[in-house]
Chain A
Amino acid sequence: MTEVAPAKVYHDTIVIRLIQYSVIWALVAMLGGVWLAAELVWPGLDFGQSWLSYGRLRPLHTNGVIFGFGVSALMATAFYSVQRTCHVPLFLPRLAWFCCHAWQLIVLLGGLSLLAGHNAGKEYAELEWPFDIAIAVVWVCFAVVFFGTIATRKIRPIYISNWFYGALIIVIAMLHIVNSLAVPVGPMRSYSLFAGAQDAVVQWWYGHNAVGFLLTGGFLGMLYYFLPKQSGRPIWSYRLSVLAFWAFVYSYIWAGPHHLHYNSVPDWVQTLGMVMSIVLLAPSWATMVNGIMTVSSAWEKLRTDPALKFIVLSLAFYGLATFEGPMMSIRSVNVVSHFTDWTIGHVHSGALGWNAMITYGTFYFMAPRLVGAELYSRRLANAHFWLALAGTMLYIVAMWAAGVSQGLLWLSVDEIGELSFDFKDIMASMNPYYILRLVAGLIFLTGTFLMAYNLYMTVRGRPAQRATVPAVAPAYGVG
């Protein structure tokens, strides 16, 4: 009599924990954003405390959202989907747990260091050198777990979502390590290895590709796994998804210099950044069309699945943000839009409309399945959907109006070529738009609180389901 080996199960408790961390960071970092919006209306809200000042809270908001909320969500979804697309449990699960907790510690301590005033002075890379080293170590561990799982897979093809997650891991490691190269001069002080225009080019090569490979590529990995799962349909065109992946990877990496238009970097570098940004529209929209066509045949699911709505809408905002970005990189548009609130509106059409919406949809999908229960309240999820949509729209339109007004007034000149308006007066007149932005942020944050409560009630007191690894059809098996 032969002994039957015990069935292997997926490591899903870690996924639940990462979702919980992600939701906590979403609440903290978005609350920080709302507070910042309020400070722009009532500057006295810092109460004279340096740690509550705009300059310290702002990087806390951006780092908290991107690295706390965003990366925790990406780790959760990558761990969930890579196991299921490779038909094996996670490679080195203890290392995966190390990634999970060490990452939260970095975000927590890093956030506190920002509040204490330690700032490397690079946007989206503000954390000082000890954190940079810690991030690199954890990121490499993340890579070992992810690629180790793929290397030990039982199914021959590597599904498209894994290509996007893989690109996220490799490119962010490369960007982070190169951009963070610095000479430490104290426990929390360092000088960048780069200087002047080179520093600017390296910084925006990092900054824009952090947007590209983390906030776009990573979340596309999420889309390519969870959209077909949620809609119960295969990707409309798998070939298009592969084509879009390579076009995306090739074109995104060049686009950074569009942040440096009319700056001290060579003209040809600016032009290259602009042209590659426009080229980028093709792969971005190929993915959008692929997503829309995938979901279009699964409309019946909308009756029962409130989560799918978030993903459908996230595609609309993805379409907007990936069109708006290339357009704003055109120099004749950028000369007016740069440094205005339109840029802030653009970032939030991506961050709220695309990143947050698709993450919310994915969490509503995963949480009930992970614990084998129904979602606590569909009504709350539906209410969250409309709050998220209203908050995002109000935010974008308010910032469009503020940005266009600023761009026009800052550059207006009289007959003899002198500036027509005083900068201080222009900014003082922006108050009503900043109030609208604050209202929009509060609406969006309220929706996020509803989700946090809904997910908490869904998973409360329930352990992760034991999901066993299914057998692989021989035609797709490895070896």
Chain B
Amino acid sequence: MSASVGGVGSTIHSHLFFRSLYQPAAAFGELSRREPAPLGVFFGHSLWLLLLPPVFAYVGGANLGWRLGAEQPLLLPPNELLLISVGYFLTLVFGLFSTALISRWMAATYGANASLGRHLALITMVGEPLAVASAAHLFPNVLVQVLVLIPTLIWSMNLLYRGIPIVLETPPERGMLMASSLVAWLLVAAVSLLGISMSLWVLGVGPLLGV
């Protein structure tokens, strides 16, 4: 990564994203002094983080099979598993960009900074703990996912509420409202994923269902 200079189009160090895992406030503060280029953020950082969950899911699903509660694991053919993992990756990319764009669209309402690069970097930082915790996919048991990902999800929500006022330079109260609006969108996106997955299963992609 290039030198840490501020201003429009500046790039940001990888260590900033790493630091956001253990010193989020400091990382948010540093990000608020930069105007990173959106594509630089995506290809330099977000892309690699977004690759983690589908890769973990593929490796875990291929080696151990998904355990949904029953004795026998659900083993899918490698081709189908690959298709699902690619779909998972594309969904995450869509989720990142749509959330960043919606966040930037909301910026005008909440008096926040409208730099797309910052929004993309912030959403990446917020989602980063989830990407790391997706290592749980290596042990594809639904309960393990719930036990690992729920606390991580709460931590990520906490980062969203803390990060918006700092990175997007808006008063904490307006940031709280903006974060709540984004939570509404993210909840809808999460439940959409469930609905889309179920529709795909019924259409024949994934496990064999008697419907």
Contact = CB atoms under 8 A, between A and B. Distances in A.
A293 B184 CA distance: 14
Main secondary structure of the interface of B (DSSP, over half): helix
B194 A299 contact: no
B194 A342 contact: yes
Contacts of A420: 70, 72
A412 B210 contact: yes
21 contacts: A302-B173, A315-B180, A316-B187, A320-B184, A320-B191, A323-B191, A324-B191, A332-B203, A333-B198, A336-B198, A336-B202, A390-B154, A397-B146, A400-B194, A401-B146, A405-B69, A408-B68, A412-B74, A421-B70, A421-B72, A433-B143
Contacts of A400: 191, 194
Nearest to B206: A408
Contact of B70 (A303, A317, A409): A409
Contact of A413 (B176, B177, B210): B210
B146 A425 contact: no
Contact of A327 (B142, B153, B191, B210): B191
Interface in B190-211: 191-192, 194-195, 197-199, 201-203, 207-211
Contacts of B74: 408, 412
B146 A398 contact: yes
Given A319-B187, A429-B69, A401 B142 contact: yes
A394 B150 contact: yes
A419 interface: yes
A295 B174 CA distance: 10
B150 A332 contact: no
Interface string B51-75: 0000000000000000011111010
A3 interface: no
A65 B207 CA distance: 38
Interface in A393-407: 393-394, 397-398, 400-401, 404-405, 407
Which of under 10, 10 to 19, 20 to 34, or 35 or more describes the interface residues of A?
35 or more
A181 interface: no
B68 A302 contact: no
B171 interface: yes
A319 B173 contact: no
Interface residues of B, number: 42
Interface in B143-191: 143, 145-146, 150, 153-154, 157, 171, 173-174, 176-177, 180-181, 183-184, 187-188, 191
Given A327-B195, A335-B202, A421-B70, A300 B143 contact: no
Contacts of B203: 332
A385 to B, nearest CB: 11
Interface string A322-340: 0110011010110111000
Contacts of B2: none
Given A296-B109, A299-B171, A336-B209, A408 B177 contact: no
B110 interface: yes
* Max chain A C-beta neighbours (<10 A), residue from B110, B183, B187: B187
A336 B181 CA distance: 29
A299 B174 contact: yes
Nearest to A405: B68
A429 B146 CA distance: 14
B20 to A, nearest CB: 22
A398 B146 CA distance: 7
Interface in A106-139: none
Interface string A250-261: 000000000000
A374 B174 CA distance: 24
Contacts of A411: 209-211
* Max chain A C-beta neighbours (<10 A), residue from B68, B171, B207, B211: B68
A309 interface: yes
B199 A315 contact: no
Interface string B65-90: 00011111010000000000000000
Given A315-B184, A332-B198, A393-B153, 4 more contacts: A296-B174, A316-B183, A411-B211, A420-B72
Given A312-B176, A397-B150, A436-B146, A407 B198 contact: yes
Interface string A443-460: 000000000000000000
